[in-house]
Structure 1
Amino acid sequence: MRGVKYVLGLMVLFIVLSVLSVQAVDRTEIVYKIPITGEIDRGLVYLVKKGISEAEAEGADLLIFEIDTFGGYVDSAIEIKDLIYNSRIKTLTFVKGRAWSAGALITLAGDIVAMVPGSSIGAAETRPKEEKYISALRKEFKATAESRGRYPEIAAAMVDSDLEIEGLIAAGKLLTLTADEAVTHNMAEYKVGNLTELYDIMDFSPARILSVQVSSAEKLARFIINPNISTVLLTIGLIALIAETFIMGWGIAGTAGLLSLGLVFSSYIYLGVAGWGVVVLLVVGLVLLALEVFVVPGFGITGISGILAILASFYFLFPTPTTALFAVATVLILSIAAAIVILKLFGGSQFWQRISLGESQTKDLGYIAQYDKKEYLGKTAYTLTPLRPAGLIEIDAKRLDVVSDGGFIDKDVKVKIIKITGNRVVVKQIKEDE
């Protein structure tokens, strides 16, 4: 009996060990790679968010950020740093070329830092080079390095050229480290030729290596939200719409203008860089301008408000106030210059004649000066043009600019002059027998 129990015990132990062995064999370690290349901007923030989300959904064991960048926008770099730092997955920042400026901050955020021979990290000079910016970024670098067990003063010297570290960097110089120097001074854990070599050192055997997939739409959107590209497209859009106002009917210019503006605004919204508020501002501005051109006579508060709303929508697209002001100023100056050229080319178009005075208002043509108008108060006349609400009437064989007291009045309709204030003559429609 005791022998039977012994045999049964061995069988159970064998089964348990077999199951554990199968589980160990079936265990697949997953690596997920996200590139940090090109300019660090808000499009890259979107890509990193997407990659981390996909990695977590796949149950990845290691997140690798492959870095080769000259830098970019500090606010975008801080967002990416926070995403890396707060990731639930172990992170490795792998410097394949340069991790300069904002790229250095992202690199320091990784749990593990590895660099290839010939790579470098540092050169995080602020733009503009003012103490308040230097101070803020210096503390950001120090805090990030400190939280990962790296030397905070070395990290700070990458930002502040006033710092001196004996044997490493003199005062007045901005610190940049080679791969060897970074490892020697505890700013990186490994110097390796490639990731395969690193896996061997770490005793890590990934069964699956995945990379974040960037769609064509995401690539196009990220290209468009580059401030220089956005500025060009916004300028083209505004100039095209201005050109359309001088041409009767809707044509190529108007379509191109709306498409250009639509590309810019849809790209910012698609990548989560801007909200729908900027679109509302743009639409309100376009509507106000349309009212000014087609409904309200002259050019006043409606048109000015429309222009301000459009420029405000442009301003809130850009990442920094300096970039935004430069972009808006560029769009405005080029649009005004284009409007002058278009006016010279199309100033004689039918549409322009509708919204401008096409002939001189001289006495030999029947026009009268302001001081002569009081005598017409209470008199009746017929409209020479539709009043929408402004137009012309004929009175005593003379033409007179007037406005209606309410809605539109058709041509050849009997009206009565009910009010004269300065140069403003107000009329109302009356019946033929009045």
Structure 2
Amino acid sequence: MHKLCTAILFHLLLFAAAVSVRGAEISAREEAAPYAGATVYLLPIREDIMPATVRQVTRCLEEATALNASCVIIDMNTYGGVLDAADSIRTMLLDYPAPTIAFINNQAASAGALIALAADSIYMRPGASIGAATVVDGSGAVMPDKYQSFMRSMMRATAEAHGRVPSAERGDTVWRWRRDPQIAEAMVSPSTAVPDLADGTQVVTLTADEAIAWGFCEGKASSVEELLALAGIDDYTLYEYAPSWLDRFIGFLTNPTLQALFIILIIGGIYFELQTPGVGFPLVVAILGAVLYFAPLYAEGLAAHWELLLFLTGIVLIILEIFVTPGFGVLGILGIVAMITGLAFALIDTALLRYVPTGELPVSVVLGPFLIVIISAGVGLLLSIWFGNRFLRGKSGLRRRVVLVSDMKPADGYVSVAADRGLTGREGITSTPLRPAGKVVIGGRHYEAAGDDAAFIGKGIAVIVTRDENGILYCRKKEA
């Protein structure tokens, strides 16, 4: 019995040893190739860090999660950007469950350095640099210490988030920060001294070799493929973020040149519709221009509901000024201001407005879109007036195609019943707007009338009959 128990125990020990050896082999193989058959997702950040970058990174990480990506590579080349946008991206990377790798494909300055530090690993192209994270305003001037303090704490916290690693010193195991928080702080503050690196007189910016020496970079790579090889990722499928056809189409529509053209269509369509009511086509053009203008800005998260409502309110005020209150006064001015403001603010990411008073962003961020809208609206109005005078008046062929024109000549048998009225030179008051045709009250009687040379004249305006031909009176405004 004793021999039997000994034999069973011996076999159990052999089995345990075999399992242990097998487990060690599997563990060693997994350590040697931790990403065997990996799905690698490439996320590009190659522009200033703005709220739009946050939206792109959010979409990319969602897509990487849907693909069950083994790791995400952030292909970076940026000189910085808006601080809270960078903080949002930093938080997303720190919280992302799969490993993240920052590939500094030239520069990771300022806000870009903060994002790079949030990645689990950092690789740099030869000649690349990371650092120079001092907070500055739109003109490059250093912001007050309130902002620097916040940035210093974020840089330290991001470095500390990667924990400590053991290191052997004089036979003892010492736990040190994987990325030194003091160096991260020195990237913001020129007064932070780091022995053998910074003497407390300048902001730290690390080259690729310096970043490797100080533990802020795992290696140098000239391409994503070389990076993957250095990271031990040999068997992989690479997915790179590519905008969908809808994203590309939206990007095409948000081109500033096209946006200016849409504004011209809106202003021109409204002008022509007011000049030739009932035709319909100018109104369709204006609506189409407004849809093409606002829709892509909504999709990009730039335009808000209040901006569209402000634009529509402006149109309503202008219509009330023209058809309800005579002359051109407060309603018309308010309507023009509301339209321009609505169109301009739709071009501005309102999340950026909070940085204008602090000086972090230049005022040109706001003035630029206003200038685009004002110039485009002015061009649209001038073109509309020119086209109106050229094609919708006189004897133009286009006028005869789009406007109902009829000539009733005495030679053709038509006799005017008003030709001998002798009303030329008489004064009257418009009882309806002349746009260009309507009615005028002269001596208590209503007559069909039109603005002289098809000019628009509002309701309740004193006019003088310039001529009475073919049954229609032609009038102009009475001089004050």
Matched, 1:121 2:130: yes
Question: Given that residues 263 and 376 in structure 2 are in contact (C-alpha distance below 8 angstroms), is that contact kept between their aligned partners in structure 1?
Answer: no
Amino acid at match of 2:314: G
User: How far apart are the structure 2 equivalents of 1:128 and 1:48?
Assistant: 27
Matched, 1:79 2:88: yes
Which residue of structure 2 lines up, in the alignment, with residue 376 of structure 1?
none
Equivalent positions of 1:399-418 (< 5 A) are 403=460
Give SS of 2:97's match: coil
Q: Higher mean Cα deviation, 51-60 or 69-78?
A: 69-78
Matched, 1:187 2:233: no
User: How far apart are the structure 2 equivalents of 1:345 and 1:40?
Assistant: 44
Give SS of 1:148's match: helix
Give SS of 1:128's match: coil
Matched, 1:266 2:308: no
Which residue of structure 2 lines up, in the alignment, with residue 91 of structure 1?
100
User: How far apart are the structure 1 equivalents of 2:139 and 2:201?
Assistant: 17
Q: CA deviation at 1:8?
A: 11
Equivalent positions of 1:160-199 (< 5 A) are 168=197, 175-199=204-228
| Unaligned 5+ runs, structure 2 | 161-178, 354-362, 394-422, 448-457, 462-477
Question: Given that residues 151 and 188 in structure 2 are in contact (C-alpha distance below 8 angstroms), is that contact kept between their aligned partners in structure 1?
Answer: no
Distance 1:88 1:403, change over 3 A: same
Question: Given that residues 236 and 257 in structure 1 are in contact (C-alpha distance below 8 angstroms), is that contact kept between their aligned partners in structure 2?
Answer: no
Which residue of structure 2 lines up, in the alignment, with residue 236 of structure 1?
261
Distance 1:254 1:189, change over 3 A: farther
User: How far apart are the structure 2 equivalents of 1:402 and 1:294?
Assistant: 7
Distance 1:27 1:10, change over 3 A: farther
Which residue of structure 1 lines up, in the alignment, with residue 405 of structure 2?
none
User: How far apart are the structure 1 equivalents of 2:332 and 2:235?
Assistant: 63
Matched, 1:332 2:374: yes
Amino acid at match of 1:114: Y
**Which deviations, in whole Å up to 9, do the C-alpha atoms of 1:366-386 show, x marking residues without a partner?**
338xxxxxxxxxxxxxx8754
**Which deviations, in whole Å up to 9, do the C-alpha atoms of 1:203-228 show, x marking residues without a partner?**
45554433334212213434655xxx
Q: CA RMSD in A?
A: 4.8
Question: Given that residues 266 and 289 in structure 2 are in contact (C-alpha distance below 8 angstroms), is that contact kept between their aligned partners in structure 1?
Answer: no
Amino acid at match of 2:267: I
Amino acid at match of 2:155: T
Equivalent pairs counted in the alignment come to 375
User: How far apart are the structure 2 equivalents of 1:127 and 1:117?
Assistant: 30
User: How far apart are the structure 1 equivalents of 2:387 and 2:39?
Assistant: 64
User: How far apart are the structure 2 equivalents of 1:32 and 1:42?
Assistant: 22
Which residue of structure 1 lines up, in the alignment, with residue 175 of structure 2?
none
Q: CA deviation at 1:178?
A: 1.5
| Match for residue 210 of structure 1 among 230, 235, 239 | 239
User: How far apart are the structure 2 equivalents of 1:141 and 1:224?
Assistant: 40
The TM-score with structure 1 as length reference comes to 0.66
Which residue of structure 1 lines up, in the alignment, with residue 167 of structure 2?
none
User: How far apart are the structure 2 equivalents of 1:335 and 1:161?
Assistant: 48
| Match for residue 143 of structure 1 among 144, 147, 154 | 154
Question: Given that residues 159 and 180 in structure 2 are in contact (C-alpha distance below 8 angstroms), is that contact kept between their aligned partners in structure 1?
Answer: no
Which residue of structure 1 lines up, in the alignment, with residue 335 of structure 2?
306
User: How far apart are the structure 2 equivalents of 1:185 and 1:332?
Assistant: 53
**Which deviations, in whole Å up to 9, do the C-alpha atoms of 1:20-49 show, x marking residues without a partner?**
899999985433221112343333322211
Which residue of structure 2 lines up, in the alignment, with residue 358 of structure 1?
none
User: How far apart are the structure 2 equivalents of 1:213 and 1:145?
Assistant: 33
Distance 1:16 1:188, change over 3 A: closer
Percent sequence identity is: 25
Amino acid at match of 1:212: Y
Distance 1:95 1:384, change over 3 A: closer
| Match for residue 440 of structure 2 among 371, 389, 392 | 392
User: How far apart are the structure 2 equivalents of 1:254 and 1:105?
Assistant: 50
The TM-score with structure 2 as length reference comes to 0.61
Question: Given that residues 237 and 258 in structure 1 are in contact (C-alpha distance below 8 angstroms), is that contact kept between their aligned partners in structure 2?
Answer: no
Distance 1:312 1:75, change over 3 A: farther
Which residue of structure 2 lines up, in the alignment, with residue 318 of structure 1?
348
Distance 1:387 1:316, change over 3 A: closer
Which residue of structure 2 lines up, in the alignment, with residue 366 of structure 1?
426
User: How far apart are the structure 1 equivalents of 2:189 and 2:100?
Assistant: 27
Q: CA deviation at 1:179?
A: 0.8
Amino acid at match of 2:310: L
Q: Higher mean Cα deviation, 6-15 or 164-173?
A: 6-15
Which residue of structure 2 lines up, in the alignment, with residue 380 of structure 1?
none
Give SS of 1:40's match: coil
Q: CA deviation at 1:291?
A: 4.6
Which residue of structure 2 lines up, in the alignment, with residue 219 of structure 1?
248
Q: CA deviation at 1:264?
A: 4.0
User: How far apart are the structure 1 equivalents of 2:182 and 2:289?
Assistant: 48
**Which deviations, in whole Å up to 9, do the C-alpha atoms of 1:44-87 show, x marking residues without a partner?**
32221111112223333322111123444444333322222222
Give SS of 2:328's match: coil
User: How far apart are the structure 1 equivalents of 2:446 and 2:305?
Assistant: 53
Give SS of 2:126's match: coil
User: How far apart are the structure 2 equivalents of 1:311 and 1:170?
Assistant: 53
Give SS of 2:427's match: coil
Q: CA deviation at 1:345?
A: 5.9
Question: Given that residues 295 and 388 in structure 1 are in contact (C-alpha distance below 8 angstroms), is that contact kept between their aligned partners in structure 2?
Answer: no
**Which deviations, in whole Å up to 9, do the C-alpha atoms of 1:75-106 show, x marking residues without a partner?**
43333222222222222111122223432222
Which residue of structure 2 lines up, in the alignment, with residue 429 of structure 1?
none
Question: Given that residues 101 and 123 in structure 2 are in contact (C-alpha distance below 8 angstroms), is that contact kept between their aligned partners in structure 1?
Answer: yes
Distance 1:134 1:80, change over 3 A: farther
Question: Given that residues 126 and 133 in structure 1 are in contact (C-alpha distance below 8 angstroms), is that contact kept between their aligned partners in structure 2?
Answer: no
Q: Higher mean Cα deviation, 86-95 or 387-396?
A: 387-396
**Which deviations, in whole Å up to 9, do the C-alpha atoms of 1:219-250 show, x marking residues without a partner?**
3434655xxx44x4443333333333146345
Question: Given that residues 75 and 105 in structure 2 are in contact (C-alpha distance below 8 angstroms), is that contact kept between their aligned partners in structure 1?
Answer: yes
Question: Given that residues 122 and 158 in structure 1 are in contact (C-alpha distance below 8 angstroms), is that contact kept between their aligned partners in structure 2?
Answer: yes
Which residue of structure 1 lines up, in the alignment, with residue 55 of structure 2?
46
**Which deviations, in whole Å up to 9, do the C-alpha atoms of 1:277-329 show, x marking residues without a partner?**
43343344344444544555433444344334333333154133331233113
Question: Given that residues 64 and 91 in structure 1 are in contact (C-alpha distance below 8 angstroms), is that contact kept between their aligned partners in structure 2?
Answer: yes
User: How far apart are the structure 1 equivalents of 2:225 and 2:386?
Assistant: 66
